[in-house]
Amino acid sequence: MKRIFFAFLLCLLVMPVTAQPPARIREAQKAQQAQQQESVLPAPRTQKKTATAAPATVVSQRAELEFPSAAEMPEDVSWRRDIYRILDLTKDKNAVLYYPEEPQGDRMNLFTYLFKLMMRKQISVYNYTIDGNEDFSAANAVVPKNFLERNHIRFEERAGRFRIEDSDIPSGEVNTYYIKESTYFDQHTATFHTQVVAICPVRKELDEFGSTPVNTPLFWVKYADVAPFLAKLTLNGSNYNNAAIISADDYFTTNQYEGKIYKTNNLQGKVLANYCKTDSDMTREQKRIEKELTTFEDHVWGADSAQIKRMELEKSLNDSLANLAQTTDKKSVSRTAAAPVKVKKSEGNASNSSRSQTKRQKSSSTTYSVRRQRH
C-alpha cells in the first residue's frame, strides 16, 4: 500500500515538471510573434489609437471617400473677394432649405440635418462672435450641451448621450441663413470660381417682452467639413416637378441660391448698414459690389473679349454688306436680262406681222385672179 502511495505521489511531482516546459515554450513563441507583428506593422496600431481618440475625424474621412465633394479653394490664388450674403428662405430659390419644417421619414430640412450632425459629434460647429466673422479655432467650438441650454431646447441626457424629439428642434424658426462665399481666380487653371466657405443658420425668435422678433445667429459651420454629409441630403429642386431631386452639396456648389450682400471683407470691418443710410443707398452699394465681380472678370479677359467682339462685329458687318451686294447684283442681272427678251419679242412680232401681211397679199392676189377667170 505504501509503495502504491509513493508511486502516485511521485507521478504527481513529475507531471508538472514535464508539462511546464512546453507551456513556457508556447507562451514565448506567442510573445515573439506579437513583437514581430508590432515591429512590422506599427501603422494599424497608430490608426486604431487615432480612431478611438477622434471618431468624428474618421467618420468625416469615410464620408469624404464615399461622397467626394468639390475641391477646396487653393491658398495661393492670385485674386479673391470674400462677401457675405443673407438667404431668405421665403424666396422660391431658397425655400428648398426650409421644407419640410419637421422631419418626414428620411426627408428633413437643412437645419435639422446640421443639428443632428452636431449632436452626434460628426461635425464641429463654432460660436457666432460679436463681430460676425467666423472663427474656426478649437477654443471657439460649440459644446452641444451648452448650446441646448442656451437656446432653451428640451433634451434628455443618458450616459452622456442626448435624446431630443424632432418636434423640439426649432427648425421651423430658422428661416434665414448667412453664408460666406469667395469668388476667386485660379491662375493654375485660368478659371473663375464662386465657392461657399461657411454657413450660419439664423433663428427668428421673440425678444424678452415677446413682441418683436429678433434674428439670432446660432453658429458657423465650415462648408468643407459638412460638404460630404450634404451630398447625402436630398432636396426637391422644383415646384413643378417633384421628381427633380438635387443634393444639398450640388445646390450650394452650383450657386442656385439667391441672397443679397450684407457685408464684405474690408479693412475697416464695416457692414453695409454702417455706411448706407437709406435702403436706396444699400441697393446701389449691393449692385456696385456685384458689378465689381463681373468687371474684374471682364478685365482679366478684356483683350481677348474685346478682340472677339470686334471680330464678331466685323463679320456681321461684312455679312450684311455681302448680302446687300448680292441682292443688288441680282436686281441688275434681272434688269439686263429682261431687255433683250423684249427686243426678241418685238422682232418676233415684226416677223409675224410681215408674214401675215404677205399671206394677206397672196390671198388677195389669188382671189383677184379667180374673179378675173370667172368673168
Contacts for 166 with CB less than 8 Å, ≥ 6 apart: 102, 103, 112
Of 14-18, 74-78, 80-84, minimum mean pLDDT range: 14-18
Q: Mean pLDDT over residues 330-348, rounded?
A: 52
Q: What does the pLDDT read at residue 71? A: 75
Which tens digit of pLDDT belongs to each residue from 122-170? 999 999 998 888 999 999 999 999 999 999 999 999 888 899 999 999 9
Is omega for the bond preceding 100 within 30 degrees of 0, making it cis? yes
Which tens digit of pLDDT belongs to each residue from 260-287? 999 998 888 789 988 999 999 999 999 9
Q: Say if residue 363's pLDDT is above 80.
A: no
Q: Mean pLDDT over residues 204-212, rounded?
A: 78
Say which amino acid occupies 108: M
Q: What does the pLDDT read at residue 85? A: 96
Question: How does residue 369 score in pLDDT terms, banded at 50, 70 and 90?
Answer: very low
Q: What does the pLDDT read at residue 230? A: 95
Q: Say if residue 96's pLDDT is above 90.
A: yes
Q: What does the pLDDT read at residue 44? A: 40
Q: What does the pLDDT read at residue 237? A: 75
Q: What does the pLDDT read at residue 69? A: 61
Contacts for 173 with CB less than 8 Å, ≥ 6 apart: 203, 204, 205
Q: How far is CA 298 from CA 58, 156, 238, 264, 291, in A?
A: 43, 56, 32, 21, 10
Q: Mean pLDDT over residues 18-44, rounded?
A: 54
Q: Which of 197, 258, 201 shows the shortest CA–CA distance to 226? A: 197
- Are residues 213 and 203 in contact, defined by beta-carbon separation less than 8 angstroms? no
Which tens digit of pLDDT belongs to each residue from 186-195? 888 888 889 9
Q: Say if residue 115's pLDDT is above 60.
A: yes
Q: What does the pLDDT read at residue 242? A: 80
Strands 220-222 and 125-126: antiparallel
- Are residues 226 and 196 in contact, defined by beta-carbon separation less than 8 angstroms? no
Which tens digit of pLDDT belongs to each residue from 340-350? 544 444 444 44
- Please give the mean pLDDT across all residues of the chain: 77
Q: What does the pLDDT read at residue 268? A: 80
Q: What pTM did the predictor assign?
A: 0.64
